[in-house]
Amino acid sequence: MENFLSQIRNIVLKSHKNKLLIVGKGESSRELVDYDLKDFFVININDSERIIQGDISLFYKIDFFESIKSNNFSSEKYIAPSYLKIPDQKHIEVSYEAWRQDSHEHILDYLRSETYYLTDYVILSAIKFSLEYQKILKENIEVFFVGFDFYASTLSPEDNVMHDLKYKNAFLKTQESQFKEVIEYFNMYYKTVKLKHVGEKEFSEISIQGFKKFLDDINYDYPVRRRVTNSSLYKKLTKQVERDNKVIVVAEFTNNHIGDPKRLVKMIQIAKESGADMIKVQKRDVRTFYTAEELSRPYKSPFGKTLGDYRLGVELNDDLFSLLEAECIKYEIPWFASILDWNSYEYMTKFDTVLLKLPSTISNHKNYLLKVGESFVGDLVISTGFTDKSYENFVLDNFISDRKLFLLQCTSSYPTPPEACQVAVVRHYEELRGLGYKNLYSGYSSHDVGSLGCMLAVAAGAKMIEKHVKLGDLDWVHFDGVAVDLYKNEFKSFVQDVRKAEIMCGSKSKNIHGVEHHKYTPNVTHN
């Protein structure tokens, strides 16, 4: 215990903040992803760092360890048992003790005890941590709880496969009762630690909207009060899809940046100015994705004489990915990547990755696809080039769960002739939403020439349109012929065509439009 207190003392004296924010994984926590929380010492429960990055995380389950590991251990410190192999400099080791059946009767005894250990009820361990924090700080503190909604509308990947939604909500109801008991106790006996639940419960101290206003007020000295991130930009965009029926236009860069930082920045700038909603790049581990024979195949490019020279030359490296992220934040346009192998997936976890694409190129590597689907907690884009109905069934069975899935009709032909576009498949994907797949959004990955196919796809219900873009002609770049040029306003005209289709489609609700009028007023009386 002494070693634990010594480590916590260093943390508290370094922080010296008197506002603590304990973050759970309820939907309300996602309301704060674009807010600056610099005035709070942030405590994550389990793997809630994937929603809001905190100062310290508390957890004991191996399942959460895998999720946190894939998030690159983003918290400063972790309070966790010794059997979890967390990097030494971040690990504060404590014991874990199972919560007995009658333990709810001894909550207050646990909070008063001299020893610190983790329990199944991790939120209680976070409260006990807050008590130790206050003792060291020797100031009154406020502890806010966000993301503790005590209600679930869906099951999540870490839920026991034998549990249904009814059981989960019964369990959460029990936790809510225990939490309410602790709140009442603190209000009666503690003057130095004030617990404040953020939400819509009868015991909530403040609503989520009220808390957001409170954040704006305490950040009064900053002209920009909200922290722009890739996550916040993407979340704002998907809200427009749900609320306004917006169509997301994705500028697919493929390799047309040719590994040139100046060219990459110019493409981001023009894509944004042309009206693109998102930018997509590709990531592959060249040395493992291709065979040695393929890499040695002759291929003429400025990088050398082999396909390997070309592929290594046009891949985004660490510096270029960092530049991509910084420039997209600057221009406020979210980005994502197609990941073609497991090494690339693991590489992408170091970024603020909220959306990934599983492209048609690797549609036959189903074990890999399943592995990504199980590991990644964000939203997915899946295109269906060179696949049939069986692949659609595979996707529907394995990749929707509680995430958004953009399912894109695609034909793997460069360019795609009109008779092979199969835009009607977009309508089929849209109809699946009415058959219970409410998290599915239809889309179209365009390899056809021009904008007509994409306009028809919008009319068929597409909520995402993906189009290859380039910056001038480069004959040696793969499939450059299908891309729309960012120069000469060609991509801008393409986006305008898509927006025109979007406007013309309007709403499915039939109403008398304000511009309507009868051309003639007949002088006829009907009896």
- Which residues, at least 6 apart from 162, have a Cβ–Cβ distance to it below 8 Å? none
Q: 185 and 283: one domain?
A: no
Give the pLDDT score at 453. Answer: 97
Residue 523 lies in a domain: no
For residue 33, what pLDDT band results from cuts at 50, 70 and 90? confident
- Which residues, at least 6 apart from 54, have a Cβ–Cβ distance to it below 8 Å? 21, 23, 42, 43, 44, 48, 75
Q: 113 and 210: one domain?
A: yes
Nearest to 151 by CA among 134, 173, 174, 182: 173
Angle of CA points 275, 279, 282, to nearest 5°: 155
Average pLDDT (8-16) is: 91
User: Lowest mean pLDDT: which of 129-138, 285-294, 478-487?
Assistant: 478-487
Angle of CA points 149, 152, 158, to nearest 5°: 110
- Please tell me the distance from the alpha carbon of residue 400 to that of residue 402, in angstroms, as a whole number: 6
**Structural domains of the chain, count:** 2
Task: At 435, list the tokens.
Answer: 């058959």
Give the pLDDT score at 517. Answer: 67
Q: 206 and 281: one domain?
A: no
Average pLDDT (285-291) is: 91
For 324-339, how does the pLDDT look when each residue is reduced to its tens digit (9 = 90+)? 999 999 898 999 999 9
Residue 232 lies in a domain: no
- Please tell me the distance from the alpha carbon of residue 488 to that of residue 492, in angstroms, as a whole number: 9
- The CA-atom distances, in angstroms, between 397 and each of 355, 359, 391, 437 are 19, 18, 10, 10
For 66-105, how does the pLDDT look when each residue is reduced to its tens digit (9 = 90+)? 889 888 898 999 999 999 989 989 999 999 988 765 555 6
Residue 515 lies in a domain: no
Q: 108 and 173: one domain?
A: yes
Residue 126 lies in a domain: yes
Is 37 within 8 Å of 54 (Cβ atoms)? no
Helix (H) or strand (E) holding 126: helix 122-137
Is 249 within 8 Å of 59 (Cβ atoms)? no
Q: Is the pTM of this model over 0.85?
A: no
Q: Please spell the DSSP secondary structure of 191-210, one letter per residue.
A: SSEEEEEBSSSTT-SB-HHH
Q: 487 and 384: one domain?
A: yes
Q: Which residue, of 196, 227, 258, is where some domain finishes?
A: 227
For 143-177, how does the pLDDT look when each residue is reduced to its tens digit (9 = 90+)? 999 999 988 766 666 666 566 778 778 878 888 88
User: Lowest mean pLDDT: which of 206-220, 267-281, 362-376, 442-456?
Assistant: 206-220
CATH of the domain at 383: 3.20.20.70
Is 464 within 8 Å of 381 (Cβ atoms)? yes
Q: 207 and 250: one domain?
A: no
Residue 273 lies in a domain: yes
- Which residues, at least 6 apart from 81, have a Cβ–Cβ distance to it below 8 Å? 60, 93, 94, 95, 96, 118
Give the pLDDT score at 440. Answer: 96
Is 278 within 8 Å of 250 (Cβ atoms)? yes
Q: 216 and 337: one domain?
A: no
Pairing of strands 304-306, 298-301: antiparallel
Select the highest-mean-pLDDT range: 96-110, 273-287, 473-487.
273-287
For residue 223, what pLDDT band results from cuts at 50, 70 and 90? very low
Q: Which residue, of 199, 227, 255, is where some domain finishes?
A: 227
Q: Please spell the DSSP secondary structure of 50-104, one letter per residue.
A: GTS--SEEE---HHHHHHHHHTT--SSEEEE-TTS---GGGEEE-EE----TTGG
Q: 427 and 306: one domain?
A: yes
Q: 253 and 203: one domain?
A: no
- Please tell me the distance from the alpha carbon of residue 518 to that of residue 115, in angstroms, as a whole number: 82
Q: 219 and 243: one domain?
A: no
Residue 524 lies in a domain: no
Q: Which residue, of 171, 198, 227, is where some domain finishes?
A: 227
Q: E strands of 213-322, at which residues?
A: 248-252, 278-283, 298-301, 304-306
Q: Which domain holds residue 342?
A: 237-505
The amino acid at residue 295 is L
Nearest to 363 by CA among 381, 389, 383: 383
Residue 385 lies in a domain: yes
Q: 104 and 147: one domain?
A: yes
Q: 439 and 499: one domain?
A: yes
- The CA-atom distances, in angstroms, between 314 and each of 48, 64, 280, 352 are 36, 36, 15, 23
Is 12 within 8 Å of 129 (Cβ atoms)? no
Give the pLDDT score at 98. Answer: 83
For residue 405, what pLDDT band results from cuts at 50, 70 and 90? very high
CA trace torsion 432, 437, 443, 447 (10° rounding): -80
Residue 511 lies in a domain: no
